Structure 1
Amino acid sequence: IVLEAEPTGYPRAPVGKKRVWIDVRNQQFVAYITFDRRGEMWKSFEPGWSRYEDGTAAVKDAKGNSDWSWTYVHSHDIQANRMSRIMHTQSTTGGYKSLLSDNGVDVYNKYLTNQAITRLGQA
């Protein structure tokens, strides 16, 4: 599936359009490109997926199977010719830990409301 989106109501938005490719077999995104306001390609994102296994160590799901998810994302700023790699790690600064399931956490209210974003920005 190829999805395209354009901002509406934001005339100064730096992104003019984004295009996302999704694999219909597993509903995972395969690639993502943003275009600037002139319609030129600006940035591309490409994820890597794998099981969480490393030799004898593995992260298991509730059924005992090795979990899998994204492990990294390559982000290429095409216009500046700069590459970044985003890694999926166990934890990050501030004590945040990566979870493969919500474990009862109200993610929306904890991280995505205006109040939560303000609170998190104060840290």
Structure 2
Amino acid sequence: MDASLFWTTLGTLMAILTFIYTYYKEPREDTEYAIQKFEFLKKLNTDLINDLTTYMIANNAQEKEIMQQLTFEQGIRILQKNLDQVMNDKNLENLKKGKSGKRHLDFIIRKLEENIQHCSEIRTVFEYYHLGTAKI
């Protein structure tokens, strides 16, 4: 085998391995980061549901609007559905198995961060408009 064929083959192999590592192999740090985000969001969501439910019951506010034409009852139902369908133990176990590629894992992390942002917005609106305790 001449030298140019050897170097061409080696270069091609390196390019393929780089591609696989970049797009299909899941870095362990990203998986751990996603698991931390998942667990944080699950706690944030659960605490928000509990606080909204406590307020709703104490103030008989089932039909009172919390934000954007959603009543407390509707908002709690949506948060609970998200908790049951998305933030469940099965999905956490799948995440821990580390079977996702990098692109899929990046997508999961982005969606978790968006959900954290939404829960934070709901918490801020709730505390500011309904409790009067938000620190802005």
TM-score between the two structures when normalised by the length of structure 2: 0.20
> Which structure has the larger Rg over C-alpha atoms?
2
**Which has a greater percent of helix?**
2
Greater RCO, CA 8 A, separation 6+: 2
Higher strand share: 1
